[in-house]
Structure 1
């Protein structure tokens, strides 16, 4: 049975319903992870959980130690990763409260430690990243969303920006021209690092606000927090549904 790790993003610093058995403070060659790796029983199976931004939420997207986080999960026994991300909606069909299971990503970040293949190499290493998300895990997420009756899109392009500020209207217009459907700040380099460590990886993205210029309203953190509060139960239900399957 596949050992799943859940990486919780904004709004999911704890996994309600997880029967915690132990926590691991994993030392990595890349520094300290955002939080301890929590190991427990969830939906009848062993699951690992890591809060991407720490618990409490304290690491901004550009300050997350993605290399340490993914390495720690691999060392703790993870074979596949379910990444939960809060995003803004660019495509007209990606309204607040909508779920997207992206099939592609465009990386607009800069200055992040984005690879394990950087130093003391005997040979240059390249990975195939043509299809950044594991299709079998994507299909499991989609089946769980459908079974729960949650509105969702079965594909989408995730544009990952640097943060921590939100984007300008012109930047969102550029992302839209590039083909992005949703925008977030944490999708990369997490997905690529998982691929480097041969971990199956897929993203469950919850739209928590219209992207800049996609609404006449000013984007506020209060609005985002309301959307997170409304949607996080659906996130948990979806994860439970997926994990309850063999």
Structure 2
């Protein structure tokens, strides 16, 4: 079974980077998850398109808990996720990648934990370091070897969606320290943390955010930029999979809730 998973965001819908691909499915307490499993250079890799294979699931209706539970159940230990983002930071330009290290959560209606008090169990998750430092270093090394422009660090502002943000909101997020804005990284990152898996996000800047961009925002613009740079994001992740064993693993992701007895499927 795979111990690596790729969660593909907007523009990353198909597992063409893998060979010997087959469909699989897992029933979870939160619903059924259908995903694909293939191989890359001898390593088994699971692939889940976050929005569905035809981009039919809006950000606020993604079954984040089912996705994370399913890949934990099949034995995944490391997750590479992709996200399309707008930039609030003038140094982060369309086409750039950002290996984010922090987030600001402005979602409103999403269930953000596996632990809702059933059986008296409540978990208070430490998210001082929400993104796996080991995977981020591997991705940094991958970008350097490929000559891909990737910013090491940045704060992801997660909004509810599916609408884009107003210029006033973007101005506020920038003042609060946000670098990029998207709609999907929370609660995915915290659920992966609760499930004691390594998780890192590769964010691709597809546009300048509202009020910064000189033109109205469109989803077509986002998709077009992702398609233009799709080869880069796939190459970046696959090179990172190649390099996983070459960077010392010093993270504590596998024990994030040890204080509460660990994560049990």
* Whole-angstrom distance in 2 between the partners of 1:68 and 1:124: 19
Which deviates more, 118-127 or 172-181? 118-127
Q: For 1:46-65, what aligned pairs fall within 5 Å after superposition?
A: 46-65=44-63
Question: How far does residue 92 in structure 1 lie from its aligned partner after superposition?
Answer: 0.4
**Cα pair 2:115 2:121 within 8 Å, conserved:** no
**Cα pair 1:208 1:227 within 8 Å, conserved:** yes
Question: How far does residue 7 in structure 1 lie from its aligned partner after superposition?
Answer: 0.1
**Cα pair 1:43 1:240 within 8 Å, conserved:** no
**Partner SS for 2:120:** coil
**Cα pair 1:37 1:73 within 8 Å, conserved:** no
Instruction: Identify the residue that residue 185 of structure 2 maps to in structure 1.
Output: 187
Q: Does 2:122 align with 1:124?
A: yes
Q: For 1:14-93, what aligned pairs fall within 5 Å after superposition?
A: 14-33=14-33, 36-93=34-91
**Partner SS for 1:240:** helix
Unmatched segments (≥5 aa) in structure 1: none
Deviations 1:170-226 (CA, angstroms, capped at 9, x unpaired): 000010011000000001000000011001110000011111111212222332222
* Whole-angstrom distance in 1 between the partners of 2:64 and 2:106: 16
**Cα pair 2:207 2:213 within 8 Å, conserved:** no
Question: How far does residue 21 in structure 1 lie from its aligned partner after superposition?
Answer: 4.2
Question: How far does residue 29 in structure 1 lie from its aligned partner after superposition?
Answer: 0.3
Deviations 1:107-138 (CA, angstroms, capped at 9, x unpaired): 10011011100141333221111111010011
Give aligned pairs, total. 243
Question: How far does residue 71 in structure 1 lie from its aligned partner after superposition?
Answer: 0.5
Deviations 1:30-88 (CA, angstroms, capped at 9, x unpaired): 1233xx22111024311111111111211000000000000011111100110100110
**Cα pair 1:32 1:65 within 8 Å, conserved:** no
- Pick from 172, 176, 179 the counterpart of residue 178 of structure 1: 176
Deviations 1:148-176 (CA, angstroms, capped at 9, x unpaired): 11111100000000000000000000100
Q: Does 2:122 align with 1:133?
A: no
Runs of 4+ in 1 over 3 A off after TM superposition: none
* Whole-angstrom distance in 2 between the partners of 1:19 and 1:87: 29
**Partner SS for 2:31:** coil
* Whole-angstrom distance in 2 between the partners of 1:224 and 1:22: 29
**Cα pair 1:37 1:72 within 8 Å, conserved:** no
Q: Does 2:137 align with 1:143?
A: no
Instruction: Identify the residue that residue 4 of structure 1 maps to in structure 2.
Output: 4
Unmatched segments (≥5 aa) in structure 2: 246-265
Could you say if the C-alpha distance between residues 217 and 67 of structure 1 is closer, same or farther in structure 2, counting changes exceeding 3 Å? same
* Whole-angstrom distance in 1 between the partners of 2:187 and 2:219: 25
* Whole-angstrom distance in 2 between the partners of 1:228 and 1:17: 16
- Pick from 139, 164, 167 the counterpart of residue 166 of structure 1: 164
